[in-house]
Amino acid sequence: MFVTNLFNKVVNGYSFMKEKDTKSKEQQILLAAEQEFLLKGYDGARTTSIAQAAGVTHAMLHYYFRTKEHLFERIVDEKFATMSHSMFAIMGDSSLPILDRIKGGIEAHFDFIAANPLLPRFVINEIVSRPERYEVLSKRVNDIITTIFCGLQSDFDQAVECGVIERVDVKMLFISIMSMNVFPFVAYPFIEPIMGDLMADRERFLAARKAENVETILRRIKKQ
């Protein structure tokens, strides 16, 4: 019995370590691929470079992700899933006051972009240079927000009836949030020389920009 139990522990431990190693290799590939895609775009990205940066062989990369397209779609899925979870988890929390939900959603989206500053420009470039990529990106967005918007609009309409906020179209609100939050990161190289000392401290500038975006949007929808 002792020998059997010992054998089972060894086997189970080996299986756990193997699974852990598999996830580790997969994560290394995803991290390397993310940087490759964001810096070089889909067309410029090379799986050989991704494999080298991840510390795996080219054959191993294709073992985990058969094609560059599959790797690209996996990264897109994870990025949009992270964004939707961080933003809509707060905005969809009916236990919070509606204005707190909106404020939290704006801040969560801004923080997501701040953690992925190359992502907005990458998405724009992909859509412009490869219109067919729009279908992949559009599908991910639609899958995430279609059902969420319906629920949010109902909650917002109820808040309007209670006199808490002005009437607002959730889709238009989402566009306003995205526009205001994304612009500083897309335009950063161009506005930095113009703004001078204001942007000398990047973290301070981003914190001020986030607060300004929240105040601007809440002022627009808060019932006076």
d(CA 63, CA 57): 10
Q: What is the pLDDT along the chain (224 residues), one digit of tens a residue?
A: 544 554 454 445 434 444 445 568 889 999 999 999 988 888 899 999 999 999 999 999 989 998 898 898 888 888 877 887 788 888 888 899 999 999 999 999 999 999 998 888 888 887 777 777 667 667 666 666 666 777 788 899 999 999 999 999 998 999 999 999 999 888 877 777 777 676 678 888 899 999 999 999 999 999 87
Domain boundary residue, one of 14, 49, 66? 66
Number of domains in the chain: 2
Give the burial string for 26-37 (b: 16+ CB within 10 Å, else e). bebbbebbbebb
pLDDT at position 74: 87
Left, alpha or beta for 218 (phi > 0: left; psi -120 to 50: alpha)? Answer: alpha
CATH code of the domain in which 28 resides: 1.10.10.60
> Residue 118 is part of which domain span?
68-224
**Residue 138: CA atoms inside 13 Å, Cβ hemisphere, count?**
6
Write out the two tokens for 135: 């279908």
pLDDT at position 5: 53
49 with 107, same domain: the answer is no
91 with 33, same domain: the answer is no
43 with 93, same domain: the answer is no
4 with 14, same domain: the answer is yes
Per the confidence metrics, is the pTM higher than 0.85?
A: no
Phi, psi of 165 (to 5 degrees): -130, 165
Greatest Cα pair distance, the chain, in angstroms, is 76
Domain boundary residue, one of 40, 66, 92? 66
pLDDT at position 12: 52
122 with 203, same domain: the answer is yes
12 with 79, same domain: the answer is no
Question: Angle at which helices 2-44 and 68-91 pack, to 10 degrees?
Answer: 100
96 with 202, same domain: the answer is yes
pLDDT at position 193: 73
100 with 58, same domain: the answer is no
9 with 75, same domain: the answer is no
